[in-house]
Structure 1
Amino acid sequence: MVPTIILDLDGTVALGDGPIRAYARAIDEVACPGFEELGLAALREYVEGRAEHRDGYHAIAAAAQAAGVADDGLQRAYTLSRERFGTPAAPVSAPSGLADFLATLQGRATVVLATNSPPVGIEEALREWGALPHFGALHYSVGKPAGLVPIVRAARAQGPVLSVGDIPEFDLHPAAMHGADTALVGPSSQTSGFEATMRGHTLTDLYDDISAWVRASRASSAE
């Protein structure tokens, strides 16, 4: 049996607040003129630990809702911001050593991407980082948390599963509920009460742990 590693995108494989800032800017453009400064202030409060939110997107959306922006306006702004993903208007970067690390997993584990984002710009970024050839599947507009479940179930039919992400209720909890191991990264990795299998500030911090998990999973499956 072959182990599978399910990687989230934003905050896991794609780092930086460029897309989140682009979201605040897009709300300003399409739904609430003058909102960008308010949205970035809400983002700062979240980053500094002065506000409880799921992630930066949630912080900005909450500020927009408080300013009277309706759900359809938020959706239009989100779509616009994602169309800018990976461009100078919404820059992102890969975790250090990502492509080289994924290359070490070739033939030993299946690596898949599972994101709530639409596909615009993502493959271009992965290709630029040299990571695209190392993914066995790319799942877009997943609809986490519920949408992660069929991906985990399908992977579990092939062997052990490790789900990696920065939002426990979206990336980890639904996976754990269906027998997967979990890895928490990002700002909440050291403070979250979620009982993750492993945790690190960024994916780079977990390369050795993930490699050990793959070795142990393959050894267990061979018994």
Structure 2
Amino acid sequence: MTTTPAGSPATPRQKLLLLDFDGTVCLGDDPVLHYAAQVDALLAERGRTAHDDGGVRAVVAGALAAGDLQVPAPPEGTPAQDGYQLVQRLGRARGLSAEETGVAFRAGREALLAVGLQRSDVHAPAGLAALLAEIRPAAAVVLVTNSPATAFAPWLEALGLTGAFDAVVNDAGKPAGLPAALEAALEEARRGAGVEHIAETQVLSIGDIWENDLAPVAARGGTTVLIDRFAAGIGSPDHRVPDLAAAAPILRDWAAAPDADV
């Protein structure tokens, strides 16, 4: 896990805003579909393609187009919360290990970079850069992502978010790695804010996967905002919204409040 400072305002801040990357800061279905294509390639290498549904990419593409990740029924008991989770589950159900789906995820990123992010549908939520600039005087802003640090800068550049964060925590290994990533983010925020302590109750985390992005923060008394694009209904966040635009007023109120309880 690496942290990369991105520069921060000099004013003291005693709050921390954590943001997930895929599905929160980085939108677009092309990264998911490239991941799915790499899962199909691994399955083909292992001779595990005896399905009549066209493969993982075809299934996921159809689910995303329909806006329903439960088509077909999920291979696990709880609904998939985003396309990445659906790809992983389908790959695992067809015989890949967690390590192999991780390899496919990284290969999908590399493949999309080779094509060119400018030729993809990758984009940031409208107004995000301005929103973060508005919040940063009150709160340190840290991006926490499972994406590798290698070749990550082009993603931020394509999204128009270079320099938008006080720090970036890559290779976070969520969900298991989120507690450690939270500690790293707190340390980066304390250093950037120029204060000795940022209380865990002064942390707000926003993301689209409950167990990956929010549950450990909730357990420590922080505020959680779940972007539930596909209405999976999982988890118990303080706020559940369909997209980041709906979350913007919540983030502004939290940043402006004397504490994180909004």
TM range (shorter): 0.7 to 0.9
Of 182, 203, 210 in structure 2, the residue corresponding to residue 152 of structure 1 is 182
1:7 alignment partner in structure 2: 19
Q: Is the 8 Å Cα contact of residues 26 and 122 (structure 2) preserved in structure 1?
A: yes
Q: Tell me if the contact between 2:122 and 2:159 (Cα under 8 Å) persists in the aligned partners.
A: no
Q: CA deviation at 1:39?
A: 0.9
Amino acid at match of 2:229: P
Q: Distance in 2 between matches of 1:121 and 1:166?
A: 23
| d(CA) in 2 for partners of 1:194, 1:67 | 27
Aligned position for 2:223 = 181
Deviation at 1:132, TM superposition (A): 2.2
What amino acid is aligned across from residue 40 of structure 1 in structure 2?
A: R
1:118 and 1:97, CA in 2 relative to 1: closer, same or farther beyond 3 A?
same
Using the TM superposition, give the Cα deviation of residue 147 of structure 1 relative to its aligned residue in structure 2, in angstroms: 1.6
Give the TM-score normalised by the residue count of structure 1: 0.84
Are 1:42 and 1:59, in contact at CA under 8 Å, matched by a contact in 2? no
Q: 1:111 Cα shift?
A: 0.6
TM-score, normalised relative to structure 2: 0.72
Instruction: Work out the CA distance in 1 between the residues paired with 2:41 and 2:125.
Output: 31
- 1:81 shift after superposition: 0.6
Stretch of structure 1 that moved more, 57-66 or 29-38: 29-38
Q: What's 1:17 paired with? A: 29
Q: Structure 2: where are the runs of 5+ without partners?
A: 1-12, 74-78, 191-196
1:94 aligns with 2:124: yes
1:46-125 to 2 correspondences below 5 Å: 47-48=67-68, 49-50=70-71, 51=73, 52-85=79-112, 87-88=116-117, 91-125=121-155
The reply on whether 1:42 has 2:84 as its aligned counterpart is no
1:126, distance to aligned residue in structure 2 (A): 1.8
Aligned to 2:239: 198
Map 1:120-131 → 2, pairs under 5 A:
120-131=150-161
> RMSD of aligned C-alpha atoms?
2.7
Residues 67/90 of structure 1: CA separation in 2 closer, same or farther (3 Å cut) = farther
Q: Structure 1 residues 100, 150: closer, same or farther in 2, change over 3 A?
A: same
Aligned residue type for 1:150: A
Check whether the contact 2:25–2:125 (CA below 8 A) recurs between aligned residues.
Answer: yes
More divergent stretch after superposition (94-103 vs 147-156): 147-156
Report the counterpart of residue 163 of structure 1 in structure 2: 205
Question: Number of matched residues?
Answer: 218
Q: Distance in 2 between matches of 1:78 and 1:150?
A: 22
Unpaired runs of at least 5, structure 1: none
Paired residue for 2:8? none
Structure 2: distance between partners of 1:78 and 1:85: 11
Give SS of 1:135's match. Answer: coil
